[in-house]
């Protein structure tokens, strides 16, 4: 079957029909549903996001369907949905999973359906609102800190076995080895080599492991009224070091030029940390910096891999094609992070860029 998201204009009926069959098979006791595709939310590197309405009798449920595409998928949709349920039950704001399937028979690809949450996800829209009222940025940074502390308090033993565990021999040692393996498949880079040496020389003390979102950042947050309404896109969820989530949120690439606001371009690190600790989280400063370096390197490598997938003909995605141009920016960020005396990711004398 052709992947239903390849041609939105010509495949909406195929997609809607496949989703309706999957929903009917999952709940045979309820009236057979009808699914209407109402629009496309985005085309990402690893999944396609579609707005749908699910009609059962007199009830209409606004939902979002996500279909797997070419890219990095480390968590099966069924396991991802279980992670979201765990997080939601613990108190993290999430989009309720309605159905997840790793069977491509229904729509030509694994998929999941979640209840739609009203709000903004586009970073420039969020930052525009925050720019009009900085108190909203402080509130959002604190919301993120609280949500992450609640997430990181979830018992790792409750996480499905199909979710990866970055724990042996320690999270940082395991991640450094993973980065070496990824870099080995790409052309040599002096910046990456320098970053690898820094990581090897600066391993922080290890702390307890937990469920980690893996991609908690501006762009994967639904914001409504200046508050965090839901955390979405759990495809990189795993068990690991909780400081990884906090560091990833604070990388320069997710600030979208608002460099003075280290938390996603909308908030101060002090607000994020205070809320995280108030909600029971343990902040480890050395680990926070180590993970900022490690995840910057990872993103640089992923951008190169995505560009290579397009160049080789493995994918025709223009999203992947455009990724390669940003790898140099991540190399710059990596150098600024490991430069002596820099804790915020760039020397203080530099202007935001």
In a domain, 252, yes or no: no
Per-residue model confidence as pLDDT tens digits over 242-291? 999 999 999 999 999 899 999 999 999 999 999 999 999 999 999 999 99
174 lies in the same domain as 265: no
Other Cβ atoms within 10 Å of 42 Cβ, number: 13
pLDDT, residue 325, reads 83
132 lies in the same domain as 22: no
Dihedral sign for Cα 118, 124, 125, 126, please. positive
Per-residue model confidence as pLDDT tens digits over 322-343? 888 899 999 999 999 999 876 5
Instruction: State yes or no: pLDDT of 10 exceeds 70.
Output: no
Instruction: State yes or no: pLDDT of 142 exceeds 90.
Output: yes
300 lies in the same domain as 278: no
Rounded to a whole number of angstroms, the distance between the first and last alpha carbons of the chain is: 45
Mean pLDDT of the chain: 90
pLDDT, residue 29, reads 87
Out of 77, 93, 115, pick the residue that ends a domain. 115
* CA separation for the pair 122, 138 (Å, rounded): 18
In a domain, 250, yes or no: no
In a domain, 249, yes or no: no
In this structure, are residues 48 and 67 in contact, taking their beta carbons and an 8 Å threshold? yes
Domain count, the chain: 3
What phi and psi values does residue 344 have, to the nearest 5 degrees? -100, 0
In a domain, 189, yes or no: yes
Q: Which domain holds residue 299?
A: 168-208+284-353
pLDDT, residue 48, reads 86
Mean pLDDT of 41-49: 71
229 lies in the same domain as 185: no
The CATH number that applies at residue 66 is 3.30.200.20
192 lies in the same domain as 88: no
In a domain, 202, yes or no: yes
Task: Assign 44 a pLDDT band (cuts: 50, 70, 90).
Answer: low
In this structure, are residues 126 and 19 in contact, taking their beta carbons and an 8 Å threshold? no
289 lies in the same domain as 182: yes
204 lies in the same domain as 232: no
89 lies in the same domain as 134: no
201 lies in the same domain as 295: yes
pLDDT, residue 177, reads 97
* CA separation for the pair 206, 220 (Å, rounded): 27
Per-residue model confidence as pLDDT tens digits over 113-122? 999 999 999 9
27 lies in the same domain as 146: no
In a domain, 351, yes or no: yes
In a domain, 346, yes or no: yes
In a domain, 83, yes or no: yes
pLDDT, residue 309, reads 82
**Both tokens assigned to 69:** 């595409």
Please report how the helices 269-278 and 134-152 are oriented relative to each other, as an axis angle in degrees rounded to 10.
Answer: 40
pLDDT, residue 12, reads 85
229 lies in the same domain as 298: no
Mean pLDDT of 213-223: 97
Instruction: State yes or no: pLDDT of 293 exceeds 80.
Output: yes
60 lies in the same domain as 88: yes
Question: Does residue 84 come out as left (phi exceeding 0), alpha (psi in the -120 to 50 range) or beta?
Answer: alpha
């Amino acid at each position: 079957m052709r992947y239903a998201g390849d041609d939105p204009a010509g495949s909406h009926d195929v997609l809607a029909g496949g989703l309706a069959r999957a929903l009917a098979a999952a709940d045979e006791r309820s009236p057979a549903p009808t699914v209407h595709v109402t629009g496309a939310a985005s085309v990402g590197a690893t999944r396609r996001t579609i707005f749908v309405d699910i009609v059962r009798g007199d009830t209409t449920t606004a939902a979002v369907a996500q279909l797997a595409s070419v890219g990095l998928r480390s968590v099966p949709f069924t396991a991802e949905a279980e992670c979201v349920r765990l997080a939601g039950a613990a108190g993290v704001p999430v989009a309720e999973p309605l159905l997840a399937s790793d069977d491509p028979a229904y729509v030509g690809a694994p998929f999941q359906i979640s209840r739609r949450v009203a709000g903004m996800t586009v970073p420039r829209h969020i930052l525009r609102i925050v720019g009009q009222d900085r108190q909203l940025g402080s509130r959002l940074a604190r919301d993120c800190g609280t949500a992450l502390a609640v997430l990181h308090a979830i018992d790792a033993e409750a996480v499905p076995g199909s979710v990866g565990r970055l724990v042996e021999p320690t999270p940082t040692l395991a991640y450094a080895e993973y980065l070496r393996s990824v870099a080995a498949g790409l052309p040599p880079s002096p910046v990456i080599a320098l970053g690898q040496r820094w990581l090897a020389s600066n391993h922080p003390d290890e702390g307890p492991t937990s469920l980690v979102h893996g991609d908690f950042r501006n762009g994967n947050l639904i914001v409504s009224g200046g508050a965090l309404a839901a955390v979405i896109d759990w495809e990189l969820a795993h068990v690991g070091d909780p400081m990884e989530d906090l560091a990833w949120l604070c990388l320069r690439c997710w600030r979208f030029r608002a460099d003075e606001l280290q938390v996603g371009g909308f908030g101060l690190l002090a607000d994020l940390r205070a809320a995280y600790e108030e909600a029971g989280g343990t902040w480890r400063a050395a680990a926070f910096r180590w993970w900022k370096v490690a995840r910057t390197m990872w993103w640089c490598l992923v951008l190169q891999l995505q560009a290579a997938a397009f160049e080789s003909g493995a994918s025709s995605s223009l999203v992947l094609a455009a990724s390669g141009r940003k790898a140099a920016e991540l190399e710059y960020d990596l150098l600024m992070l490991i430069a002596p005396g820099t804790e915020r990711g760039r020397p203080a004398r530099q202007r935001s860029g």
